[in-house]
Amino acid sequence: MIWAKAEGCRVTLADGRELLDLTGGFGVAALGHRNPRILEAWRSQEVVHALGDLADAEVTLRLREALPRPAKLGVTGEDAVEIALRTALLATGRPGIVAFDGAYHGTGLLALAATGFEQFRAPFAQWLPGPVHRRAWGEDPGALPADTACVIVEPVQGRAGSRVPPPEFLETLRRRCDEAGALLVVDSIYAGLGRTGEVYPGADVADVLCIGKALGGGIPLSAALFYRDGLEQLWDMGPEDVYTHTHVGSPLACAAALVLLDELPALLDRVVAAGEGFEQAGWHGRGLLRARAGDADEALARGVLVVPAGLDGSLIQATPPLTISDEELDEALDRLAS
């Protein structure tokens, strides 16, 4: 499949077919493809690449100021997870990670160790860090192992199929972490930035909260937000940053992020309302992170883009732009129901 054009909630393929996009590019196009404000923000930048951690662009500083907590920026979502897990090691001196079945945190080795999809893990099992203590999703993990540095959890599991935990699950994890002196890492890379109706889901319980995907408007950008005071200071280890990338703090990505953060508050009610439309059509999940049984190839044949999801790949997932209109939503659901 080759995309030739993407605008709003619609994608045109190289063969001329126009599709309704319920993927938003894996949730990246939260404001729709080719959002005019983001395009203008990119065009207006006097600096398109600086020196990462050595020399921020002015717009990168403005993004840091706009975020709700001190942050260490990354490029991919997996970077934010890596930063969060390493922070837990620095804070506690312990190597253990408690993670859940169905978790998806990325495919870099450390994030992969915490990920619950065995098909991704198995080829690299000999190299995976640990120990990782796997627990049942949505259940009280009980007293944490003595070596636990952190618990990592998604407020709504994304790739596993938009799985919503029981009420009080995150609060239970907060209590278990407090008992063990461990950090609670909330991976809101998929569920955050308005996707489930909140900008920073899990912020009320997190020590570190990870965001990414939609943050850069299509250019890779992520962040680990430090909700426990002082965690950012653990990274002050000398004149050079010991975890950085050439493209960290991309000015273009940061310019898009400022647009996104400005637009999100006005979209949250819309996300909840559109999510109810999915709910009524039989899609489970929260907000605009939705899934149901189905086949992505069949949906494509009906002119709708979705992605496979679920532990066994038996689900289709919808993560459309948060700006999707009622008419576009109805059209997409009608095509899938016909």
pLDDT for the residue numbered 154: 98
In the chain, what are the domains?
Answer: 3-35+266-337 (3.90.1150.10), 43-263 (3.40.640.10)
pLDDT for the residue numbered 283: 98
Q: Is the pLDDT of residue 190 over 80?
A: yes
Q: What percent of the chain has pLDDT over 70?
A: 100
The mean of the pLDDT values for the chain is 96
- Name the band, by pLDDT with cuts 50, 70 and 90, for residue 184: very high
How far is residue 80's CA from residue 69's CA, in Å, rounded to a whole number? 14
> Which helix (DSSP H) or strand (DSSP E) does residue 176 occupy?
helix 169-180
Average pLDDT value for residue range 193-213: 98
Dihedral angle over CA of 212, 99, 92, 169, nearest 10: 90
Average pLDDT value for residue range 168-197: 98
End-to-end CA distance of the chain: 23
pLDDT tens digits for 292-306?
999 999 999 999 999
pLDDT tens digits for 64-92?
999 999 999 999 999 999 999 999 999 99
pLDDT for the residue numbered 55: 87
- Say what the pTM is: 0.97
pLDDT tens digits for 93-152?
999 999 999 999 999 999 999 999 999 999 999 999 999 999 999 999 999 999 999 999
**Measured on CA atoms in the order 55, 58, 59, 61, is the torsion positive or negative?**
positive
Q: Is the pLDDT of residue 338 over 80?
A: no
- Name the band, by pLDDT with cuts 50, 70 and 90, for residue 180: very high
